[in-house]
A and B are shown apart, each in its own frame.
Chain A
Amino acid sequence: MLKVLRSFFSDPVFVKKKAFLKSLPLFKELGERELGYVLQAFHSRVYHEGEVLFMEGDIGRALFIIESGRVELTKLDAGGKPKQIVVLGPGDFFGEMALLEQLPRSATATAQEKSHVHLLYRSRIESLLHRHPRIGVSIMTHLAQLLSARLRRATQQLTTSDRVERDL
């Protein structure tokens, strides 16, 4: 009886999406119900090949997570020509700083092929922080670790380039 009821109410699409979220490092520490709340905070969109997700200079307001497809990040060089920074694929996320502050994006994101992307808007994460602090703390901790790692890498790169200049 319980099994019949469960199959009557169970939503296979929701379960599949939860499994995808669980596979991401950003949400790996969250439980089943918490993942459900995070999933409700997401908005999904399919971007077709060549569609621009955002342009350099646009105000950033959301974090993007790629479920399928590929997204290219480019930046204009001194001559005004777009220069590829990186190509991101399934499971990658970008634009996470928009969850912390609203400032202009410093690169352009374009779909290289048909891509299914999830967007997490900053006021949704703020709402999660208030209603389900454990979820908010887990996501924010991961973001802080990510930013710390990037800062460390940037410092190392600076030190290395200084040393190379001195050696020359």
Chain B
Amino acid sequence: MGPERRPSIGLIIALAAATVYLAYHLRQILIPFGLSFALAYLANPVVNVFEARGMRRDRIVIMFYLLIAAAISMTASFLLPVVMRELSLLQTNAPGYFKRSSEYLSQVQVMVAHKLPIGQSIVEHWNLQLYTPLIEHFQKLPGYLLGLFPLLSLLFLVPFITFFFLMDSSRIMRDVIQSCPSRWVEQVLHVTTEIDTSMGSYVRSVMIESFLVGLMAFLGLYALNVNYALAIATLVGVSSFVPYAGALLGGTVACTVALFQYGTPLAFLKVALLFLAIRGVDDLLLQPILSKTSVHLHPVAYLLALMIGGEAFGFTGLILGVPAACILKTLFRVGWDFYTSEVLMRSDSPPGLRIPYV
């Protein structure tokens, strides 16, 4: 047997705490790197397909960039101003919509208070606990989204960093393996491959799902001729990073817009059905295909991630809190698997197969 290589739990916890502390203080610098990392994960499988056919990686990446740049310059020049205009308009009109919503809800409250025996106390509770804070936050939603647009200043930095991630990921990995002590190669490979596999599939599935859900919302709202279709679809896509939030937020905003645009409950019903259908397609079709290996969080963990994200980073933290929690869970799982197999010598083989081998 070789000499024991027992990683200390205290050291691991200290390293993890130091990493979290540094990440919190350097968060502004880390955002472009995090986004580039996610984009590189998204693009890497496409580059790999061509590389497997014997094509040079550097030239594939350059061609890929040229094609993407052409596609973006063709679409962004008219899409981006439209989204910005729609969001600004929605922000301007939102107070009016919600004023009319409050009037409508007040009528319902009066009716509830008169017709039900305990109606008065229900209405008071409703006002204090639910209604007022909810209306306040909904009014701020377009503003929250517009607040994300400064991230567009990263438009040049992120593709630049992504380019180098895509070009040099294999070389960086080779250098890491070459420079680590020979006996640790298998262990380093184990940890990096597990993180790469789990995080890669998670990041890809989340980004593709958000894009497709946003696209479905846009096409549906466009077909129903609802105002601000692109802005609402953007809201749906971005908030899809948080499970259930995309359809719920987008659905509520779209239903409200449709109700006041057409003034009929039928328009409200059509949009509500559209978002129910989107939710159904997401649950029954997209998630089973995309999230085969995705990370699942307990509802309490979801809530905690949302609260911590919102408290520490505001609206951006609210959107990225759940993905960050999933990544942390993946890192913890990989670390734990490594620890159990290395230190506790736990095997995944069935009993009766403990035969030593070379």
Residues of A within 8 A of B (CB): 8-11, 14-15, 18, 32-33, 36-37, 39-40, 43-47, 51-62, 73, 85, 94-95, 97, 101-108, 119, 121, 123-124, 127
Contact = CB atoms under 8 A, between A and B. Distances in A.
Interface in B1-43: 1-2
Interface string B326-358: 000000000000000110010111000111111
Contacts of A85: 358
B60 interface: yes
A111 B187 CA distance: 18
22 contacts: A9-B59, A10-B55, A14-B54, A40-B48, A43-B174, A45-B178, A53-B185, A56-B2, A57-B1, A57-B2, A59-B186, A59-B341, A61-B190, A62-B186, A85-B358, A103-B347, A104-B356, A105-B356, A119-B177, A119-B186, A121-B190, A123-B190
The contact size tier of chain B is 35 or more
Nearest to A106: B356
Contacts of A36: 51-54
Given A43-B177, A53-B185, A56-B2, A103 B354 contact: yes
A112 B173 CA distance: 25
Contact of B189 (A39, A47, A58, A61): A61
A47 B345 CA distance: 27
Given A94-B358, A103-B356, A106-B357, A119 B189 contact: yes
B349 to A, nearest CB: 4
A102 B347 contact: yes
Interface in B168-199: 173-174, 177-178, 182-183, 185-187, 189-190, 193-194, 197
Contact of A102 (B1, B189, B349): B349
Task: Say what secondary structure dominates the interface of chain A.
Answer: mixed
B349 A103 contact: yes
B174 A33 contact: no
A8 B1 CA distance: 51
Interface in B92-122: none
A101 B177 contact: no
Contacts of A108: 2
Contacts of B2: 55-58, 108
Interface string B285-310: 00000000000000000000000000
Contact of B183 (A55, A73, A95): A55
Nearest to B188: A43
A97 B185 contact: no
Interface string B212-250: 000000000000000000000000000000000000000
Q: Report which residue of B189, B190, B348 has the largest number of chain A beta carbons within 10 angstroms of its beta carbon.
A: B189
Contact of A97 (B190, B194, B357): B357
Given A9-B55, A10-B54, A102-B341, A121 B357 contact: no
B56 interface: yes
Contacts of B1: 55-57, 104
A50 to B, nearest CB: 9
B57 interface: yes
Contacts of A55: 1-2, 183
Interface of B: 1-2, 48, 51-57, 59-60, 173-174, 177-178, 182-183, 185-187, 189-190, 193-194, 197, 341-342, 345, 347-349, 353-358
B358 A51 contact: no
Query: Shortest 5 CB-CB distances between A and B: which pairs?
Result: A55-B2, A36-B52, A57-B1, A106-B356, A97-B357
Contacts of B60: 9
Contacts of B186: 54, 58-62, 119, 121
Contacts of B355: 103
Contacts of A51: 182
Q: Report which residue of B57, B183, B194, B347 has the largest number of chain A beta carbons within 10 angstroms of its beta carbon.
A: B183
B182 A52 contact: yes
Contacts of A106: 356-358
A59 B342 contact: yes
Given A9-B55, A44-B177, A104-B345, 4 more contacts: A32-B53, A53-B182, A56-B1, A101-B347
A59 to B, nearest CB: 5
A9 B53 CA distance: 10
Contact of A46 (B57, B178, B353, B356): B178
A18 B60 CA distance: 19
B183 A101 contact: no
B356 A40 contact: no
A43 B357 contact: no
B174 A44 contact: yes
Given A14-B54, A119-B186, A73 B358 contact: yes
A44 B1 CA distance: 26
A104 B49 CA distance: 35
